[in-house]
A and B are shown apart, each in its own frame.
Chain A
């Protein structure tokens, strides 16, 4: 019996997003979509979180922050990149200060497309990430994985 899939707590970080995706992430918490139905809680604390939800692209300002938040999360953990900017940089891809999607820095498990991503697809992405989370947990508990210091992302 596993409880991980029934109680995913998320931390949401806005990495240079235009706020479009962030508003859609917050919309998931409203009575209309109510993600707490699935036990999803927006924790705001990386040390309590299982799922890292990032919106926007990587630039020089947030490179260290994204890495830091990811490293502070206890295993098993997954990363969900929400919106096209988080996936590839989107329309800001060619900007002088943008280095690209979140996967430039940390391993991303699920990409949620859209500009801005719809709440339905964000929920879908998070629910999809749950099976990856479960997979990582099994891997984490297997004796072979104990030697690995850094658990690589499953792409």
Chain B
């Protein structure tokens, strides 16, 4: 059953949780680099400041696109936490990123352009794996509805180990972590200035940052689904997965887009598809 209350809770609390995750991320990253690092609440200060700044735009449509990015991310996450259809969630999730790309294209800046193209390549790279995750969950629990998947007592991750590893791989792309932070990044890579976000200033950049927080919580919620049979194991899995992402972020240098696309597809194809094929044969076809 869908429960809009959880969706509402997500809308209200996800920015707080997402901002804290971003703060912890920056703190741990700093410690890994032997630095003290910023205060835990630094992401909130950053966004607060961005809303105090002047809004400079190349074209007014950027305002709309930045807002749409935030709104559709909210829709995707709220649907997910309300227990909606996974396919619809993924559709809204992709749509929100398309708005970000459109916003970058609208500004007619070469840096934004390259960022937008790389963002599109990233979407192409991660999309199959996310769809495969949804399909895998359907094969195990016979439902695309998050509300059904989350109450099922089947340990989904044991049925979908390949899909889970593939999902962790695209999570690195989604969280804009180092080997795959092609389109924009939180670090000091400056060869395309700031990629997709180059031409967004002040409040618009703030909206994009808040959308990222919503995205963090949504993606970590997706990890939860794999371990939904046990709450403590699920929470542990989320913490370990996120820590791994930070570790990878700080260990690897950025790769080219060709490698990103190839590796994401090969891993999705090898681990994801083989996993699903094996599952199909073992279960003697789809029972549902």
User: Do residues B37 and A50 form an inter-chain contact, with CB atoms below 8 A?
Assistant: no
A44-B194, A48-B205 as given contacts; A7 in contact with B49, CB under 8 Å: yes
Smallest beta-carbon distance B43→chain A, Å: 9
User: Do residues A7 and B48 form an inter-chain contact, with CB atoms below 8 A?
Assistant: yes
User: Do residues B54 and A140 form an inter-chain contact, with CB atoms below 8 A?
Assistant: yes
Q: In the complex, what distance in Å separates the CA atom of A75 from the CA atom of B52?
A: 9
Q: In the complex, what residues of A have CB within 8 A of residue B201's CB?
A: 47-48, 74
- CB within 8 Å of B: which A11-70 residues: 29, 31, 34, 36-39, 42-45, 47-48, 50
- A3 at interface by CB-CB < 8 Å: yes
Residues of A within 8 A of B (CB): 1-4, 6-7, 29, 31, 34, 36-39, 42-45, 47-48, 50, 72, 74-76, 137, 140
User: Do residues A3 and B56 form an inter-chain contact, with CB atoms below 8 A?
Assistant: no
- B190 at interface by CB-CB < 8 Å: yes
**What are 27 A-B interface contacts by the 8 Å CB criterion?**
A3-B47, A3-B48, A6-B39, A6-B42, A6-B49, A7-B42, A31-B33, A34-B30, A34-B37, A36-B26, A36-B30, A36-B35, A37-B35, A37-B36, A38-B38, A39-B46, A44-B194, A45-B193, A45-B194, A45-B198, A47-B200, A48-B197, A50-B53, A74-B55, A76-B53, A76-B54, A137-B52
Q: In the complex, what residues of B have CB within 8 A of residue A3's CB?
A: 44-49, 52
- B34 at interface by CB-CB < 8 Å: yes
Q: In the complex, what distance in Å separates the CA atom of A79 from the CA atom of B49?
A: 18
User: Do residues A74 and B48 form an inter-chain contact, with CB atoms below 8 A?
Assistant: no
Q: In the complex, what residues of B have CB within 8 A of residue A75's CB?
A: 53-54
- B198's nearest neighbour on chain A, judged by CB, is A45
- B199 at interface by CB-CB < 8 Å: yes
Q: In the complex, what distance in Å separates the CA atom of A7 from the CA atom of B39?
A: 11
Q: In the complex, what residues of A have CB within 8 A of residue B56's CB?
A: 47, 72, 74
Q: In the complex, what residues of A have CB within 8 A of residue B197's CB?
A: 48
Partner of B202, one of A1, A31, A36, A74: A74
Smallest beta-carbon distance B210→chain A, Å: 14
Q: In the complex, what residues of B have CB within 8 A of residue A74's CB?
A: 53-56, 201-202
- B47's nearest neighbour on chain A, judged by CB, is A3
User: Do residues A7 and B46 form an inter-chain contact, with CB atoms below 8 A?
Assistant: yes
- B188 at interface by CB-CB < 8 Å: yes
Query: Can you list, as one digit per residue, whether each of B193-227 has a CB less than 8 Å from chain A (1) or not (0)?
Result: 11001111110010000000000000000000000
User: Do residues B194 and A39 form an inter-chain contact, with CB atoms below 8 A?
Assistant: no
- CB within 8 Å of A: which B10-69 residues: 26, 30, 33-39, 42, 44-49, 52-56
Q: In the complex, what distance in Å separates the CA atom of A76 from the CA atom of B34?
A: 33
Q: In the complex, what distance in Å separates the CA atom of A45 from the CA atom of B55?
A: 15
Q: In the complex, what distance in Å separates the CA atom of A6 from the CA atom of B50?
A: 11
- A29's nearest neighbour on chain B, judged by CB, is B188
- CB within 8 Å of A: which B117-169 residues: none
Q: In the complex, what residues of A have CB within 8 A of residue B26's CB?
A: 36
Smallest beta-carbon distance B92→chain A, Å: 28
Q: In the complex, what residues of B have CB within 8 A of residue A140's CB?
A: 54
Q: In the complex, what distance in Å separates the CA atom of A38 from the CA atom of B45?
A: 11
Smallest beta-carbon distance A11→chain B, Å: 10
- B33's nearest neighbour on chain A, judged by CB, is A31
Q: In the complex, what distance in Å separates the CA atom of A31 from the CA atom of B32?
A: 11
Q: In the complex, what distance in Å separates the CA atom of A72 from the CA atom of B48?
A: 21
Q: In the complex, what distance in Å separates the CA atom of A3 from the CA atom of B48?
A: 6
Q: In the complex, what distance in Å separates the CA atom of A47 from the CA atom of B205?
A: 10
